[in-house]
Chain A
Amino acid sequence: MPSIRVENISKRYGTFTALDGVSFEVERGELFGLIGPDGAGKTTLFRLLTTLMLPDGGSATVDGLDIVTDYKSIRQIVGYMPGRFSLYQDLSVEENLEFFASLFGTTIAEGYDLIVPIYRQIEPYKTRRAGRLSGGMKQKLALSCALVHKPRVLFLDEPTTGVDAVSRSEFWDMLHTLRQHGITILVSTPYMDEASRCDRIALINEGKILRIDTPDRITDAGATLEDTFIRLIQEEYGKHHIG
């Protein structure tokens, strides 16, 4: 059973089509990347899979649970890190972590094994208010909060946007560590260089998936991933407007 299965899912906002018949599967323990420009529909997809929104068409399951009917169970087993920092800025690092742990009926101590590689780095500042952390530290705290209840599937919506290069690299190292715990990770990014660190990637543009494969196989011979992606978008654009 795949960890995430998306079948022909669509979502419209009024007349604007955000997702147009998207399908893909993510295996258990896989680090799957959604690569695409701003406005491609990445965030909409995350909001559908984390049960924050209802699809207009198609279906999807997370860990075998339907996103429409089993939303309550899904909320128990997923971790979500929205693109925008959305922890409580006026609570301290420790208070935020404690708060999200207890909302899932657990404690920091119980989830400590999983979060320790990340949390250790911000633990010295645990009494500091979240609003006064640097961008990189905020991101680490957000990841800790999304992980503290030991989710089976982790959704990371542009986790490295607005973070310096060193922190970004460190962040991807952390994701690889997490994958060893058997957690499925769906991560989106607009940065092509990060795509190569995923097991498989899906290139997405204007609500449609252009291609799904490993980063190596997707890239044209002798070109960069970025060039390939731009070529694919142009092909799609041409098809759309000529044919």
Chain B
Amino acid sequence: MSVLRTLIIKELRQFRRNPFLPKLVVGFPLAIVLILPWIANMDVKGVSVGIVDADRSDVSRRITSHVEASEYLSLHDLYADYPSALADLEDGHIDAILEIPNGFGHSLHATPKRLSIWANGVNAMKGSLGSQYLMQTVMRALPTESAPTQPSFENSEIVNCQLSIVNCELTSLKLLRSAEPASSLCSRSIATLSIVNYYNPTMDYKHFMIPALMIMLMVMVGGFLPALNLVSEKELGTIEQINVTPVSRLTFTLSKLIPFWVICLLELALCMTLALLVYGLPVAGSVGAIFLAALLFIIIMSSIGVIIANLSDTMQQTMFLMLFVVLSFILLSGLMTPIESMPLWAQHFTRLLPPTYMVDIMRAVYLRGTTVAELSGSYLALAAFALTFATLASFTYRKRG
């Protein structure tokens, strides 16, 4: 025990004197809570719209002012004709074109003329969300009382900027097109949907990302840093001197891990406090449940780090191997993109990765207040992973070549 104490004191001394590590360890949680949630945001905002107004009626002016006022859309310019608007779309000045045909305002009472929307589909998400936002804005702009009918959309195409025009009609538009005949809509009766989002009522993407970003912290501080620290002793040759002492490998490895475990848990607490103070995001479930999962997850990550450090001889090798593991973890765990939208084989594969369960637990406990008992499957999976990786870590060590 006193040997472990000696080793840990030595670790802390080295940590304090490292020109880089203390700054990283303080800066990282701050960046994770204060900066990254604003960047890692999948909301599409500021879709730049060009309007070809051939109508110049009250209705078209009303649509234009609604587009201007929308928080998701921004009106770039008004165009005289479609070709000049398309030129701007190709040059990347605008993301979507709305064409209002001549006589559209008057036609609302009879058989309506058709509106057209074209969107740049190079960024698929911006293209499809942007055209939907634009459609909804137009719908809202139409006079509710006087308009007896819905407008029809003629072309709604996502235009690829490389000029291969993709005839990809949006499903929601098909619904509009097959709407009932205009005559039956004399007294407009639109069924209003009301959507209530549970657990994240304002649909704030930041609330969704913060628990996941905390996992990134654990991956970095719990996995990456101890692995680099371990292999640095190999690279500097200091491990030689340690290996001829009676210090056991387990004690030595623990002395490397324990400081980072403590730092990691403290940082998690700091992140949770900041999330509450800055974003008003409290833990809906129990804080203990978060820390239990965090402890298991840190054991998994540091075991993976130890395995990789044991298998490599230099910091560079460790860096690349860890980077590969961490990247696949981030992309496949549902941390960034939902698992449900992955192909089926990939969905099965994600079940073999520890962070998948961690992401589940963090979001469920943090946002929905799910209990440990309800998530027992995920907790058991984490515990099983922790046991497996810790065992593997102890097997990969050979003190003598």
Contacts and interface: CB of A to CB of B under 8 A. Distances in A.
Interface in B223-270: 236-247
Interface string A145-166: 1000000000000000000000
Contacts of B245: 75, 100, 103-104
B165 interface: no
B244 A145 contact: no
B23 interface: no
A86 interface: yes
Contacts of B239: 86
A205 interface: no
Nearest to B242: A103
A145 B241 contact: yes
Contacts of B13: 90-91, 95
A53 B401 contact: yes
A33 to B, nearest CB: 21
B45 to A, nearest CB: 48
Contacts of A100: 241, 245
Interface string B1-40: 0110011001001100110000000000000000000000
Q: Is the interface of B mostly helix, strand, loop or mixed?
A: helix
B247 to A, nearest CB: 5
Size range of the chain B interface in the assembly: 20 to 34
Contacts of B14: 88, 90-91
Given A90-B18, A91-B10, A82 B247 contact: no
Contacts of A82: 237, 240-241
B3 A78 contact: no
Contacts of B7: 103
A78 B246 contact: no
Contact of B237 (A54, A76, A86, A91): A86
Size range of the chain A interface in the assembly: 20 to 34
Contact of B240 (A52, A90, A91, A95): A52
Contacts of A76: 246
Contacts of A72: 246
Contacts of B18: 90
A102 B241 contact: no
Given A90-B17, A91-B14, A145-B241, A52 B3 contact: no
A51 B241 contact: no
A206 B41 CA distance: 64
Interface of A: 50-54, 71-72, 75-76, 78, 80, 82, 84-91, 95, 99-100, 102-105, 129, 145
The 6 tightest CB contacts between A and B, nearest first, are A86-B237, A102-B6, A80-B244, A103-B245, A86-B241, A82-B240
